[in-house]
């Protein structure tokens, strides 16, 4: 079942409808069932997130209360807060913060974005989706998780998934970077969801790279967000059908 | 004027609501009432930061995020107006929020609801839809309860937070905090009169369906939609949870009767099966709010007391729920975060967990008239004799006090303590005859002996002053039953029956006489 979790002030005031209302199944009532409309352009922004300085160690997790999860972490579990390989930082949410045509509007894709709970950790840990796009929440563990979204601009939710293979679907109605997701049964579990009104966002991969495609020519403010190291922004100009580079670099707080 | 001052403190959404004259009227009246009666805790701007807020734990609700625990709507949805009205009417049991039904007329209460919705933009233009709950099935049968227990433990894993026996002591409990990052404890499911949203099977089922927004308690509606369990099974889980509490709310009684047992027949320890035959008495506890540092939301809400004596010794068996065997390193972070959320305006907050502590208080000199020592540890004129037990080190001793916090340990007292699944069992034993009447009184049989209690949870920084207290009660040592006790009721019964017979016969005669007169007229 699809439901609109919430609607923030902008949408609520404009549309006069709001948080908590259920959207009918099948994507009617505002959420399109069809694929997203064609992109505004063919330009792209890509880059690499570098990390300099000493990599802070990730905390170990005591999963002894959950043998089924502990068994999925040979050699012991750690909380992957900072994922760096070869000086490149993963799990950075990069998005076009401003610069798009003022009259541009975008339809959410019909395909959901998935988040899985495996070994008492979220996969992926950082993800992006569009306003109104479904977030498909899966439980890959044979035990109880609760999934609690704690947004400020959106309405949150707190649902339970006590069995393996259970799925739930939720969505967000207002742009928000980032919506924290947590599990209260396992206090170490954290994920972050970037909710955007447009499709111009990406998450840096293990090798630190990201690509944002389908942009029209223009000058954009691009922001990179990391859960520990905060945000960095830069201004990037992209020619029509061209490619621009936005390399970011993070380092441990002084 | 009031329009502008209100718009100044409320949100954009509130200002838009005020564009409607009716809404303006509602919220203007609501604002006056709110500022007078609610703002002291919930704050002038509804942010849950009133003057009294940080004496309380959990803190008063912050209305600005429109997150409400007790709703009939889905997790994340706004509450209905009826949901908000209900909480104002009946309060939030187990918290400092009182019931206001006798205070506010319905129209005034509705005006407050209208006003507090202006604190969050989320309410603008919204009409939340309540869920369909159906009605509670009959029963429960033993099979219902057994299946409910299975669902509680195996299917929904409620035990992760609420513990094996439902006392809020599950393995995840020390890690929980609310949406304001203030530590929060899972409900103790054995005391349904303290459930925030009410203690009936229907109330419990609704909380399972809606979750308690702003807390770690999730909704289980998706579990039904996914066919993990059936709706009937969720009702069985609610019935099982209800069965963990007494059928009726316990009522305090003034006098704890200490049963007389044959010499040598006293229970050997707090878990001795001999206690099963002894009546248990409920002693409600409240926060100590007289002497600083005051404590408005104590950890332990109830104490259950059994007493027995054999003519030589008095034995008390105390039982109370406590999530922690204090001090417990697993709760260190919880303790630190909780202290950080509280005001130290009443005095420095403790920097480390202490032991759990119980004081059983008697007057040093038993009063001959109605004048008892001050119930909080007595005073210089009338001292109290307190048997104080602590969990770490596990020790009990008797000493005198002239007010809370003045007690000093004296001679050791025989005792035994056991902690299991969020429950303390403590047995305390002392001779009826005092070895030193300047420290403790002789305990006479057949007379009510004043007795009071103080209970502290060391993992919350509670101690001799900051903790839970009872009023004065009494313990009455049963005396051997003389034969006249059995004879006298029989004699009295015969007399009553005889007198009654005479009265009835006379009345019948008089009635007949009157009847004749009437017929004669």
Q: What is the DSSP string of chain A?
A: --------HHHHHHHS--TTPPPPTTS-TTS-SSPPPPPS-SEEEEEEEEE-SPPPPPPEE--TT-HHHHTTSTT-EE--SS-EETTEE-S-EEEEEE-S-TT---PPPSSPEEEEEETTEEESSEEEEETT--EEEEE-SSS-EEEEE--SSS--EEEEE-STT-EEEE--SS-EEEEEEE-SSSTT-EEEEEEESSS-EEE--TTSEEEEEEEPSEEEEEEEEETTTEEEEEEEEE-TT-EEE--EEE----
Query: Does the distance separating the beta carbons of B156 and A187 come in below 8 Å?
Result: no
Residues B322, B445, single domain; the answer is: yes
Q: List the single residue in B122, B125, B222 with the smallest CB-CB distance to A159.
A: B222
**Residue B76: its pLDDT value, please?**
96
**b/e per residue A161-186 (b: at least 16 CB within 10 A):** bbbeebebbbbbbbbbbbbebbbbbb
Whether residue A13 and residue B16 make contact (CB cut-off 8 A), yes or no, is: yes
Q: Is there a single domain that holds both residue B339 and residue B428?
A: yes
Question: Which DSSP category does B52 fall into?
Answer: T
Q: Check which CATH number belongs to the domain holding B460 and give it.
A: 2.60.40.1190
Is residue A208's pLDDT more than 50? yes
Whether B396 and B493 share a structural domain: no
Identify the pLDDT of residue A17: 34
Q: Please say whether the beta carbons of B69 and B197 come within 8 A.
A: yes
On average, the pLDDT of chain A sits at 88
- Chain A residues in contact with B65 by the CB 8 A cut-off are 152
Whether residue B132 is contained in a domain is answered as no
Confidence of residue B297 (pLDDT cuts 50, 70, 90): confident
- Residue B358 above 90 pLDDT? yes
Is the Cβ of A9 closer than 8 Å to some Cβ of chain B?
yes
Q: Which band of pLDDT confidence, cut at 50, 70 and 90, is reported for residue B410?
A: confident
Indicate the SS3 state at residue B431: strand
Residues B275, B317: contact at Cβ < 8 Å? Answer: yes
Distance CA B149, CA B155 (A): 9
Among the partner-chain residues A19, A161, A186, the one whose CB lies closest to the CB of B77 is A19
Q: What are phi and psi of A117, to 5 degrees?
A: -110, 110
pLDDT given for residue A22 in this prediction: 35
* Chain B touched by A150 (CB under 8 Å): yes
CA distance A80 to A85: 12
Whether residues B212 and B361 fall in one domain: no
Any chain A CB within 8 A of the CB of B221?
A: yes
Q: What is the mean pLDDT of residues B31-42?
A: 97
pLDDT confidence of residue B485? 62
Sign of torsion, CA B233 B235 B238 B240?
A: negative
**Domain check: are B35 and B172 in the same one?**
no
Q: What is the pLDDT of residue B511?
A: 59
CA distance B129 to chain A (A): 8
Query: Chain B interface, mutation test: which of A3, A160, A163, A183, most B Cβ atoms within 10 Å?
Result: A160
B315 and B430 inside one domain: yes
Provide mean pLDDT across the span B257-262.
96
Cβ contact B190:B245 at 8 Å: yes
pLDDT at residue B498 above 90? no
Kindly report which listed range (A62-66, A192-196, B19-23, B517-521) carries the lowest average pLDDT score: B517-521
% chain A with pLDDT above 90: 83
- Asked whether residue B94 is assigned to any structural domain, the reply reads yes
Nearest Cβ partner for A143 among B65, B157, B219: B157
- What is the CB neighbour count within 10 angstroms for residue A132? 24
Over range B33-38, report the average pLDDT.
97
* B216/A146 CB distance under 8 A: yes
Cβ neighbors of B490 (< 8 A, separation 6 or more) are none
User: Of the candidates B218, B243, B268, which is a domain's last residue?
Assistant: B243
From chain B residues 59-88, the ones with a CB under 8 A of any chain A CB are: 65, 67, 73-78
CA angle, A118 then A111 then A95, to 5°: 80
- Digit-coded pLDDT (tens) for A78-90: 999 999 999 999 9
CB contacts, 8 Å: B13 with chain A:
9, 12-13
Which residue in A209, A178, A214, A211 sits closest to A198, CA to CA? A214
| Chain A hits for B10, Cβ within 8 Å | none
Q: What is the ipTM of this complex?
A: 0.83
* Chain B contact probe: residue of A12, A13, A20 with most B CBs at under 10 A: A20
Report strand pairing: B302-309 vs B255-260: parallel
**pLDDT at residue number B512:** 60
pLDDT, tens digit (0-9, with 9 covering 90-100), for B145-203 = 999 999 999 999 999 999 999 999 999 999 999 999 999 999 999 999 999 999 999 99
Assigned domain for B496 exists: yes
Structural contact between residues B497 and B471, judged by C-beta atoms closer than 8 angstroms: no
Residue B359, strand partner residues: B388, B454
Q: Please tell me the distance from the alpha carbon of residue B362 to that of residue B360, in angstroms, as a whole number.
A: 7
pLDDT of residue A29: 36
Instruction: Establish if B160 touches chain A: CB-CB under 8 angstroms.
Output: yes
Query: What single DSSP character describes residue B73?
Result: S
> Structure tokens of B391?
């969990």
- Do both B337 and B462 map to the same domain? yes
B401 plus B466 within the same structural domain: yes
B117 with B262, same domain: the answer is: no
**pLDDT score recorded for residue A4:** 42
User: How close, in Å, is residue B123 to chain A by CA atoms?
Assistant: 8
Res A199: pLDDT: 97
At B399 the three-state DSSP class reads strand
Set out the domains of chain A in order of their start, with CATH numbers. 41-250 (2.60.40.420)
Single out the residue in B215, B243, B271 at which a domain terminates. B243
Asked if A160 reaches chain B (Cβ–Cβ under 8 Å), the answer is: yes
Residue pair B54/B342 in contact by the 8 Å Cβ criterion = yes
What average pLDDT does the structure give for chain B?
91
The neighbour count for residue A106, using CB atoms within 10 Å, is 19
Q: Per-residue DSSP letters for B254-271?
A: SEEEEEE--TT-S-SSTT
**Is A20's pLDDT higher than 70?**
no
Separation CA B395–CA B378 (nearest Å): 23
In this structure, are B492 and B355 located in the same domain? Answer: no
Residue A145 has pLDDT above 90, yes or no: yes
Using one digit for the tens of pLDDT, what is the confidence trace for B70-98?
A: 999 999 999 999 999 999 999 999 899 99
- Domains in chain B, number: 4
User: Which own/partner pairs from B431-437 qualify as long-range (CB within 8 Å, at least 24 positions apart)?
Assistant: B431/B312, B431/B313, B431/B314, B432/B309, B432/B311, B432/B312, B432/B313, B432/B314, B432/B477, B435/B411, B436/B411, B437/B364, B437/B365
> Cβ–Cβ of A9/B220 closer than 8 Å?
no
Summarised one tens digit per residue, pLDDT across range B361-380 is 999 999 988 889 999 999 99
Any chain B CB within 8 A of the CB of A67? no
Whether B134 maps to a domain, the answer reads no
Residues of A in contact with B172 (CB under 8 A): 65, 184-187
Closest CA–CA distance from residue A10 to any residue of chain B (Å) = 10
**Does residue B68 lie within any of the structural domains?**
yes
Q: Using a CB–CB cutoff of 8 Å, tell me whether A17 touches chain B.
A: yes
Tell whether the model's pLDDT for residue A236 goes beyond 50. Answer: yes
Tokens describing residue B295? 């404590």
Confidence (pLDDT) at B486:
66
pLDDT at B480: 86
User: Is residue B111 domain-shared with residue B225, that is, in the same domain?
Assistant: no
Contact criterion met (CB < 8 Å) for B125 and A1:
no
Average pLDDT over residues A167-190: 98
- The rounded Cα B105 to chain-centroid distance in angstroms is 27
pLDDT, one tens digit per residue, over B53-76 is 999 999 999 999 999 999 999 999
Tell whether A136 is within 8 A of chain B (Cβ).
no
Query: Domain range spanning residue B233?
Result: 142-243
| A12 touches B at CB < 8 Å | yes
| pLDDT > 90? residue A115 | yes
pLDDT on residue B515: 47
Angle CA B402–B405–B407, to nearest 5: 60
Q: By percentage, how much of chain B surpasses pLDDT 90?
A: 84
- To which residue do tokens 């878990």 refer? B271
Q: Is residue B128 part of a domain?
A: no
Q: Does the pLDDT of residue B517 top 60, yes or no?
A: no
Contacts of A161 in chain B (CB under 8 A): 222-223
Q: What is the pLDDT of residue B1?
A: 36
- Tell me the chain A residues in contact with residue B118 when contact means C-beta distances shorter than 8 Å: none
Q: Over the stretch A40-92, which tens digit does the pLDDT of each residue have?
A: 899 999 999 999 999 999 999 999 999 999 999 999 999 999 999 999 999 99
Question: Best interface-test mutation with B: which of A10, A15, A162, A173 has the largest number of B CBs within 10 A?
Answer: A162
Interface probe, candidates A134, A148, A149, chain B, greatest B C-beta count within 10 A: A148
* Last-in-domain residue among B243, B275, B296: B243
CA nearest B27: which of B101, B118, B104, B88? B118
Q: How far is A50 from chain B (nearest CA, A)?
A: 32
Q: Is the pLDDT of residue B137 over 50?
A: yes
Taking CA atoms, B473 is separated from A47, B252, B429, B442, B449, in Å, by: 75, 9, 18, 17, 8
Where b means 16+ CB within 10 Å and e means fewer, B460-474 reads bbbbbbbbbbbebbb
Between CA B229 and CA B287 the distance in angstroms is 41
For chains A and B, count residue pairs whose Cβ atoms are closer than 8 Å.
122
Task: Find the closest chain B residue to A189 by CA distance.
Answer: B175
Does residue B250 fall inside a structural domain? no
Residue in chain B closest to A16 (alpha carbons) equals: B125
Class of residue A99 by CB neighbours under 10 A (exposed 0-12, middle 13-18, buried 19+): middle
What does the pLDDT read at residue B25?
Answer: 55
Q: Which residues 97-136 in chain B show a CB within 8 A of chain A?
A: 121-122, 124-126, 128-129
Helix residue spans in B167-316 (DSSP H): 201-210, 221-225, 231-243
Percent of chain B with pLDDT over 70: 91
Whether B482 and chain A come into contact, CB under 8 Å, resolves to no
CB contact under 8 A, B76 and A143: no
Contacting residues of A for B67, CB less than 8 Å apart: 156
Q: Where does the pLDDT of residue B4 fall: very low under 50, low under 70, confident under 90, or very high at 90 and above?
A: very low
> B491 and B473, same structural domain?
no
| Closest residue of chain B to A1, computed from CA coordinates | B225
CATH number at residue B186: 1.10.760.10
Has residue B249 been placed in a domain? Answer: no
Which of B151, B175, B218 is best to mutate for the A interface (most A CBs within 10 A)? Answer: B218
Per-residue pLDDT, A28? 35
Shortest distance, CA B172 to any CA of chain A (angstroms):
6
Pairwise CB contact (< 8 Å): A159 & B12: no
């Amino acid at each position: 079942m699809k439901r609109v979790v919430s609607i923030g002030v902008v949408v609520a005031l404009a549309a006069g409808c709001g948080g908590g209302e259920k959207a009918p199944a099948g994507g009617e009532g505002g959420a399109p069932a069809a694929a997203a409309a064609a992109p505004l352009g063919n330009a792209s922004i890509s880059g690499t997130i570098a990390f300099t300085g000493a990599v802070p160690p990730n905390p170990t997790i005591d999963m002894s209360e959950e043998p089924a999860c502990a068994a999925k972490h040979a050699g012991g579990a750690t909380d992957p807060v900072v994922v760096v390989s070869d000086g490149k930082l993963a799990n950075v949410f990069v998005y076009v913060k401003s610069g798009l045509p003022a009259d541009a509007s975008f339809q959410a894709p019909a395909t959901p974005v998935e988040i899985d709970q495996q070994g008492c950790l979220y996969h992926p840990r950082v993800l992006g989706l569009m306003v109104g796009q479904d977030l498909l929440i899966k439980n890959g563990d044979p035990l109880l998780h609760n999934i609690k979204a704690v947004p400020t601009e959106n309405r949150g939710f707190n649902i339970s998934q006590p069995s393996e293979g259970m799925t739930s679907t939720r969505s967000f109605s207002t742009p928000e970077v980032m919506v924290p997701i947590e599990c209260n049964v396992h206090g170490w579990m954290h994920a972050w969801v970037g909710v955007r009104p447009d499709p111009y966002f990406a998450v840096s991969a293990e090798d630190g790279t990201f690509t944002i495609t389908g942009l029209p020519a223009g000058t954009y403010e691009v922001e990179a967000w990391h859960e520990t190291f905060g945000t960095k922004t830069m201004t990037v100009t992209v020619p029509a059908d061209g490619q621009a580079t936005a390399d970011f670099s993070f380092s441990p707080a002084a | 004027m009031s329009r502008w001052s209100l718009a100044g403190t409320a949100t954009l959404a509130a200002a838009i609501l005020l564009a409607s004259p009716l809404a303006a009227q509602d919220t203007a009246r609501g604002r006056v009432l709110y500022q007078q009666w609610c703002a002291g805790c919930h704050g002038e701007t509804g942010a849950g930061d009133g003057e009294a807020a940080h004496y309380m734990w959990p803190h008063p609700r912050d209305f600005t995020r429109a997150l409400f625990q007790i709703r009939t709507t889905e997790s994340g949805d706004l509450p209905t107006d009826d949901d908000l009205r209900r909480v104002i009417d009946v309060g939030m049991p187990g918290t400092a929020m009182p019931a206001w039904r006798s205070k506010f007329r319905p129209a005034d209460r509705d005006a407050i609801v209208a006003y507090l919705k202006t604190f969050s933009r989320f309410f603008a233009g919204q009409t939340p839809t309540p869920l369909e709950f159906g009605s509670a099935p009959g029963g429960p049968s033993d099979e219902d309860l057994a299946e409910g227990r299975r669902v509680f433990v195996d299917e929904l894993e409620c035990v992760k937070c609420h513990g094996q026996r439902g006392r809020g002591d599950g393995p995840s409990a020390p890690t929980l905090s609310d949406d304001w990052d203030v530590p929060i404890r899972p409900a103790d499911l054995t005391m349904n009169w303290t459930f925030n949203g009410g203690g009936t099977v229907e109330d419990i089922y609704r909380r399972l369906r809606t979750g308690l927004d702003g807390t770690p308690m999730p909704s289980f509606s998706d579990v039904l939609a996914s066919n993990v369990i059936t709706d009937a099974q969720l009702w069985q889980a609610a019935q099982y949870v209800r069965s963990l509490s007494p059928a009726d709310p316990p009522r305090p009684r003034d006098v704890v009767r200490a049963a007389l047992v044959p010499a040598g027949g006293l229970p050997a320890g707090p878990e001795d099966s001999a206690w099963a035959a002894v009546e248990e008495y409920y002693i409600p506890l409240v926060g100590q709010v007289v002497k600083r540092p005051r404590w408005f939301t104590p950890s332990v809400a109830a104490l259950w007391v059994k007493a027995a004596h054999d003519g030589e010794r008095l034995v008390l068996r105390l039982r109370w729920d406590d999530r922690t065997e204090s001090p417990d390193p697993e709760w260190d972070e919880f303790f630190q975060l909780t202290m950080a959320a509280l005001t130290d305006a009443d005095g420095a907050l403790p920097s480390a967990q202490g032991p759990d502590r119980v004081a059983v208080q008697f007057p040093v000199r038993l009063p001959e008239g109605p004048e008892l020592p001050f119930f909080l540890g007595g005073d210089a004129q009338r001292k109290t004799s307190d048997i104080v037990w602590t969990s770490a080190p596990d020790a009990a001793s008797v000493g005198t006090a002239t007010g809370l916090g003045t007690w000093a340990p004296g001679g050791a007292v025989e005792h035994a303590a056991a902690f299991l699944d969020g429950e303390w069992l403590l047995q305390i034993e002392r001779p009826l005859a005092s070895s030193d009447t300047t420290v403790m009184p002789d305990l006479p049989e057949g007379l009510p002996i004043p007795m009071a209690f103080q209970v502290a949870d060391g993992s919350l920084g509670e101690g001799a002053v900051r903790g839970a207290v009872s009023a004065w009660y009494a313990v009455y040592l049963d005396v051997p039953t003389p034969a006249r006790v059995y004879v006298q009721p029989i004699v009295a019964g015969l007399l009553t029956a005889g007198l009654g017979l005479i009265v009835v016969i006379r009345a019948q005669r008089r009635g007949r006489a009157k009847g004749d007169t009437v017929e004669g007229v």
